[in-house]
Every structure is written in structure tokens, then in C-alpha cells.
Amino acid sequence: MASIGKIARRTFLVGAAAIAGGVAVGYYFYRQPWPNPLEGETAEGEATFNPFVKIASDNTVTIIVPRAEMGQGVTTTLAAMVAEELDLELDAIKVEHGPASGAYFNSAMMEEGGPFPQFDHSMVAETMRSVSSAIGRTLGLQVTGGSSSTRDAYEKMRHAGCAARMLLVEAAAKEWQVPANSLTTAGGKVEHAGSGRSKTYGELAVAAASIDPPSEITLRPKSEWKLLGKPQKRTDLLAKVTGAPIYGVDIDLPDMLYGTVRMSPRFWAKIKSADTSAAEKMPGVVKIVRLETQTGDGFGVIAENTWAAFNAAEAIEAEWGDSDYPADSAGISKKLQDALAGPDGSSLRDDGDVDTEFADAPADNVLDVAYEVPYLAHACMEPMNATARLKDGVLDIWAPNQAPTIIQQVCGGVLGLEGENVNVHTTYLGGGFGRRGEVDFSIYAALMAKETGGRPVKVTWSREEDTRHDTYRPAAAGHFRARLGSDGLPQAVDMRIATPSVLQSVMRRTFPSLSPAGPERLLTEGAFDQPYTIPNYRVTGVPTDLSIPVGFWRSVGNSFNGFFHESFMDEIATKGGIDPVELRRKLMADYPTALKVVETVAQMSSWSESAGAGRAKGIAFTLSFGGWVGEVVQVAQTNDGIRIEKVWIAADLGEVLDPAIVEAQLISGAVYGLSSAMSQEITFADGAVEQSNFHDYDAMRIHQAPEFEVTLLENAPQMGGAGEIGTPPSVPALANAVYALTGKRIRNMPLSKEVSFA
């Protein structure tokens, strides 16, 4: 790719790796292993082998899955990696999240944070990947995100299981004075067929843990897998169908108080004046405290129950300062448009000579259009919350979160505590979607815990507070041009996209003293890194200065760039008189994995056949997080509006470890995207978010949900992630179907601005 050389000559820190803030990563430091956080935490008679495995004398085997379970099935798939190597069934193990620790660093997420398409294996791209991975390891970033959990754990956790099994075998071999290779393992026991002797893992654990870990590890070959590669019964579902108290909001501690927050509705604005006296006198209210934090200004209400806290929060009278961004949606849109028209921007893709191509293009052959998408809220079903207790200089935080080591560091900093005096307990998450990688809910709870004389306080946000204080999917505007050749194919494509920087926004809230540098892939991911060959092809991202908090929203930049890129491809196909599948066949010829995905989804949906009167189909493709995904959406005109009838998905994320879980994630991702495309938008007036709850920020309901059909392919050379990849193509596939049905090319999201849905 033409642009890589140019980028490589600049000095930069990559994507999420910018969190390093310029830390030099020495080889020695990188090689230092993290200590096992389970040492010293084990119960009497329990032994630990590595950060992922504990075995108790009663033969209870506990597997640590140090990633947030937010529905994506990590507590099943990651546990299966260890169980597979330990020769155990999934119902024979216990799964725990474990403590916050650098030992649980996520290196895979960092690897793909750089400004390179996933299929770029040039030396520069690969070097940056390994440096980024090392930064992840060195900083010990324990994060669930970037659809990276399975990829990241794949080697590590199988190794952990294998190493533990080898030690157990070794312990038995020593005791029985027989060669290790004469022993077998099954059902939680080591057995010696020759003598009929056997011992449980639990009986061997303590002796085994005192043996030095093996230096050579041979993992089970795929052909011998019993769990991996097959659908497993999920380990978390019994709790979830019985209403067990597993979420952050369910935390219950002795002597616990309840609370909520009321933060400035204008982001970053300070309180000008306030009167809390009426609120303080309300029944059940214990205390109202000022919160002045790196994520916002406002009040914390401490009460005897959540309802009393909510009521008092509403009764606080406050005047807030002005916003430092345009106060309404029109002003915000103008800011994006100005950025788009201005001179700034960096192009992560710049093939051929786009400017020359457009200089002499005959007007009839040029397509020149503008798109815009709004801010979006995450709207996790479980509103933001955290419980904190500060006692004897030790802070404990219980929170449904995606980044325990960051919470540990930031909350420790806020209260002036060392990391070892901050314990983060990660509960199950009632939805995450990127929102729960943030630190705001933990900071507020930690500060409120300072005011309760050692009593724990559970701080639950109201839905209104959650909707109005999200870290939003950024708004974005795009200006797209194409020059078509006489064959109808694009000869030149120029995409210019203006959007605020997610990375800068995250840094301002999380590590205000550091600032990211270098070109940011999040601005144009989903547009610059797609497997199309067009001779002159430029994608430019223009970071736009808007301080409304933006964050990681399921699929991040891909969520809007996928829409831009794939709707624009549909427009090109229409103008060139080429079928949209045929267009992709031609432009994707250099990428067999992509081609196969498109052909598969076309076949599944009988693309070449008409959908019938009053019906239409649309197609889109996005490569994101190592997942190559094509989706076809079929819509029908009904008396009540447009109905989404059916969605076909073909996805290739390389090796699949649990097909049922991956399929569920793809459908979930598509529903999330379709919900946004149908009706969601966050708008502003007077510097504040206008929406507040599900009545004005709704999502797809069961009567609107289509049928789904999913095919998984396994041709991609590398393993991709599953959690986010269903989202990006769902939005343009629906928009393209709506165009095919109604003739309306809707370039401003959501679609409900111009059509209505049944």
C-alpha cells in the first residue's frame, strides 16, 4: 500500500499503544514475567500453577478467565481452552474472573491498534504489531475490548492448562516411581494403566505446584480436541435464567449504603451555583457530596436506598457553566462540515493519484455526495454503577467493567492510594459494548466511599443519567467522490471523513496528563482498510475538535465508516449500472477470503433472484477485527411501515472455537447495528443531550426482529474476533435495501428521518 512508506518515516505511537505516553520498552523489561496474582490468595490445601489455574484438595479446579463476561461467552470459550488441555469437561470446573493484575495483559488488542489494514503483512506493519503487543504486556493492560479476548487467550490459556497437566503428571510419576509417559489423564485424575493406580488432581496439586514449570510444552493437536471447535453449553447460563445476583447492581455488602450521581448536563461544565438544601432534607438521604473529577463535575447523593437517592438527585437545584462545544446539533454539524472543507487530515490509504484523476474527470462520470451520522449512546441494559468501600486505607471496588487494571490505577490516583491498596472486583456485565472500559462510574463511587466512614456505597445511575452521560459513538460527516470508467467500475475514489478523535477523548478522561500522537486509525477504520482494489483510492481522516465525550462503541470507527464505504459502493454500482455483488466480485478479486464471503452470502440469500413484489434486498461487506463479514438484508413494505424480514450473514474469522457462540455474537452485533440504523440518534440542545430513556432512545424490539441465517467460513489465515464484526455491515446493508425498496438514498442516519419502520 502506497501510504505505508510515508507513515513509517514519521515518528508515531500507534493507536491504543499511545497510552504508553512515550515509555521506552526495553527488551529486558518486556521479558520480565508478571508475578502470579493467585499466589498468596489460595485457600488452605489449594495450589496454583500459573495465573489461570487453581486446584483445591477436594479436586475443585478453578479456571481464571480474566476477561469481562458481557454476554459474548468468554467464560465458556476461554475456560474451554484450559479445560481442553487439562482433560476436563466444562461442567467439572469453576470459572472465576480473578483479581486485577498485569499478568492478565491483553496483547492482541494492541496488535491491531495500528494504522494498517489487517491484511497488510509488510515488515513495517508486522514490526509495529509486535512493538504494540509488547507495550500491552509491559503496561499490563487488562482490558476486554477490540474483539480480542479469544485471539489473545488462544495460546496463553491452552499453555496454562497444558503446563498444569504436565506438572500433575510429573508429581504422580515421582510418587509412583514410574516414567511420566506411562501415565494418562482423564476425568480429573492421573492414572497408571500398568498398576491400576490413580490419584485425583486435587490429591496431587500441592506436590505438583512445587515442581518447576516445564520449559517445553506440546499442545494437543486439533484432531484430539474434545471441546474446542464444537458448541459448548455456556457456563454462565444457569445463573442467568434463575435471576442470580451476578451483576454490579446486585452487589450486597453488610452495612451498605446506596447512592447515585447527578453530573453536569453540559460536558466539562462546572457548577456555577447550587442549592442542595431541599434534597438533603428528603427522607432517606444521608449526605450529598460535590464531585469534581477528571470525567465531570456534579454531585453524589448517598442515601438509605436507591429510590431515595434518585429522588434527591432530581431535587438538587444547580446552575451549570456553558459548554465549550457548539450548544446544539446544528452547530455540531457545522463544525464537522467546516473540518471536512478545511485543509487538515491524514490519509491512511492513498493509492495512485487521486487528484489528477478528478482534475480532468468528465462531470457525467463523477459521483459527488455527502453523508452524516449522529452521536449514539451505548444504552447497556444495566445502567452504569459501581460499589466502593474505603476502609483502613484500602479501597475495594466492585464494578461491571472492561478494564480492571486501569480502574485500579486511576481510582488509586484519585484517592492517593498505591495500586496494591486498591482491589477491583469484576462482576458480570449487563452489557458492555465498549462503555464499561471507562473509569467514570468507578471514580464517582470511590470518591463517595470517602464520605461514609468506611461503609460501602453502591452507586447506581438512573437511566436518564446513563443516557445523558455516555461516552458516545462520535458523530461523523463524509464527503465522497468517485470517478467511473467506461466499464462502470470506479477508476478513482476519494473519501474524506471528519469526526472527533475517540482516542483523545478517552485519554482526556482516563489519563489527562498524557496525549496520543500520530495518525489515528479509529477515524477511518472500516473505510481505509477494506479489501478492494481501486487504482486511485484515497481515504482521509480529519480529526474534528469537539469535546463531547466519545468512546468505544461496538465496532468503533467501523460502525460509521462501514456505512459510509458500503453505501457509497452501492451508489457506485447503481451509477455504473453494475449489480452490487458483481461490483464486489470485480473489486475484491485480489482478496479470495473476501470474495468467498460475498459469494456465500449472495448464494444464501438467492441474491440473483428477485425478492418479489414489495420486497427488496441490500448487501454490504466489512472487514473489521480480523472478521470478514458479508450481510444481506431483506425488507418488505407493509401497511405499518418497512419491516426487516430476514438477514443472511456469511462470516470468515478463521478458526472458530465455538460456532454457537460466534453465531450468537454475529446476530447480536447485527441487531445492535440495525437498531442504530432504524431510529437511534443522540442530539443536543442548550449544550445537553436531549434524549433520556428508552422512550426517546429505543432499540429493536422482538416484533421488529428479523429471521437470521448464518454461515461460518474458515478460510481467513488469522483468527479474528466475533464480538463486534456483525455490526458494521448491518447498517449499510439495511440502507441499501431501503434504497432498493423505495428509491430513497438515505445518507443521513438514522433512516427514520425519511422512512418509517413497522
Partner 1 sequence: MRLTVNNQPIEIDADPDMPLLWALRDLAGIKGPKFGCGIAACGACTVLVDGAPVRSCSLPVGAVDGDVTTIEGLPEGNTLHVVQQAWLEMQVPQCGYCQAGQIMSAVALLEEVDEPSDADIDDAMSGNLCRCGTYPKIRAAIKQAAELKTKLGA
Q: Which residues bind ligand FES (CB under 6 A)?
A: 71, 381, 431
Beta strand 47-50 with 257-263: parallel, antiparallel or unpaired? unpaired
621/279 Cα distance (integer angstroms): 53
User: Of residues 247, 325, 528, 621, which one binds partner 1 by CB under 8 A?
Assistant: 247
When asked if residue 695 is in the footprint of partner 1 (CB under 8 A), the reply is: yes
Decide if residue 310 touches partner 1 (CB under 8 A): yes
Question: Which one, 158 or 435, has the nearer CB to ligand FES?
Answer: 435
473, 367 in Cβ contact below 8 A? no
Q: Which residue in the shown chain puts its C-beta closest to ligand FES?
A: 381
Q: Between 71 and 518, name the residue whose CB sits nearer to ligand FES.
A: 71
Site for partner 1 contains 639 (CB under 8 A): no
Total residues contacting partner 1 (rule CB under 8 A)?
63
Return the number of other C-beta atoms located less than 10 Å from residue 530's C-beta: 27
Comparison of 118 and 668: residue with beta carbon closer to partner 1: 668
- Choosing from 15, 37, 51, 71, the residue that interacts with partner 1 (CB under 8 A) is 71
Please pick, from the candidates 151, 234, 266, 468, the single residue that binds partner 1 as defined by CB under 8 A. Answer: 234
Q: Which of 276, 491, 530, 668 binds partner 1 (CB under 8 A)?
A: 668
Intra-chain end-to-end CA distance of the chain, in Å: 45
Asked if residue 708 binds partner 1 (CB under 8 A), the reply is yes
How buried is residue 407: exposed, middle or buried, by Cβ count under 10 Å (0-12/13-18/19+)? buried
Looking at the chain, how many residues does it have? 758
**Residue 309 grid cell:** 437517592
Q: Are the C-beta atoms of 653 and 627 separated by less than 8 Å?
A: yes
Distance CA 228, CA 157 (A): 12
Partner whose footprint covers residue 292, from partner 1, ligand FES, none (CB < 5 to 8 Å by kind): none
Interface segment toward partner 1; rule CB under 8 A; list 43-51, 56-64, 66-74, 115-123: 66-74
- DSSP letter, residue 245: S
The answer to whether residue 671 forms part of the interface with partner 1 (CB under 8 A) is yes
What's the DSSP call for residue 627?
A: E
237 binds partner 1 (CB under 8 A): yes
User: 451 — phi, psi (to 5°)?
Assistant: -105, 10
> Which of 122/638 has CB closer to partner 1?
638
The partner in contact with residue 215, picked from partner 1, ligand FES, none with C-beta cut-offs of 5 to 8 angstroms by kind, is none
The residue from 11, 215, 242, 273 that contacts partner 1 (CB under 8 A) is 242
Is there a contact between 721 and 626 (Cβ–Cβ < 8 Å)?
A: yes
Residue with cell 443516557: 467
Q: How far is the CB of 701 from partner 1 (least distance, A)?
A: 5
CB 658 within 8 A of CB 74: no
Q: Which long-range contacts (CB under 8 A, 24 or more apart) does 41-49 make?
A: 41/99, 45/206, 46/205, 47/205, 47/206, 47/208, 47/209, 48/209, 49/160, 49/163, 49/164, 49/167, 49/208, 49/209, 49/213
Segment lying near partner 1 (by CB under 8 A), choices 45-53, 482-490, 580-588, 703-711: 703-711
Contact of residue 222 among ligand FES, partner 1, none (CB under 5-8 Å per partner type): none
Cα gap 383→469, rounded to integer Å: 11
Which of ligand FES, partner 1, none is residue 660 near (CB under 5 to 8 Å by kind)? partner 1
**Cα–Cα distance for residue pair 557/538, rounded to 1 Å:** 17
* Residue 236 binding: pick among partner 1, ligand FES, none (C-beta 5-8 Å cut-off by kind): partner 1
Please identify, using beta-carbon distances, which residue of 193 and 381 lies nearer to ligand FES.
Answer: 381
Give the max Cα distance, the chain. Answer: 87
434 lies in the site for partner 1, by CB under 8 A? no
Q: How far is the CB of 311 from ligand FES (least distance, A)?
A: 16
- Contact between 602 and 631 under an 8 Å Cβ cutoff? The reply is no
Q: Which is nearer to ligand FES, 431 or 516 (CB)?
A: 431
Please, which of residues 463-492 interact with partner 1 by CB under 8 A? 463
In 3-state terms, what secondary structure has residue 320? strand
> 3-class SS at 611?
coil
Cell numbers describing residue 22: 512515550
Q: Whole-angstrom Cα distance, residue 162 to residue 87?
A: 9
Min dist CB 689 to partner 1, Å, is: 16
Taking residue 654's Cβ as centre, other Cβ atoms within 10 Å add up to 17
Least distance from ligand FES to the Cβ atom of residue 131, Å: 36
Least separation, in Å, of the C-beta of 490 and partner 1?
34
Find the binder of partner 1 among 219, 705, 712, 755 (CB under 8 A).
705
Judged by CB under 8 A, does residue 640 bind partner 1?
no
CA distance 164 to 344: 54
Lookup: cell for 131: 512493538
Query: Does residue 445 bind partner 1 (CB under 8 A)?
Result: no
DSSP label of 399:
E
Q: Does 243 bind partner 1 (CB under 8 A)?
A: yes
Q: Does residue number 729 form part of the binding site for partner 1 (CB under 8 A)?
A: no
Cis bond upstream, residue 750 (ω within 30) = yes
Q: Give min distance, CB of 465 to partner 1, in A.
A: 11
Cell of 168: 500433575
Q: Which residues lie near partner 1 (CB under 8 A)?
A: 69-73, 233-234, 236-243, 245-247, 249-250, 252, 258, 283-284, 305-307, 310, 379-383, 428-433, 460, 462-463, 660, 664, 667-672, 675, 693-695, 698-703, 705, 707-708
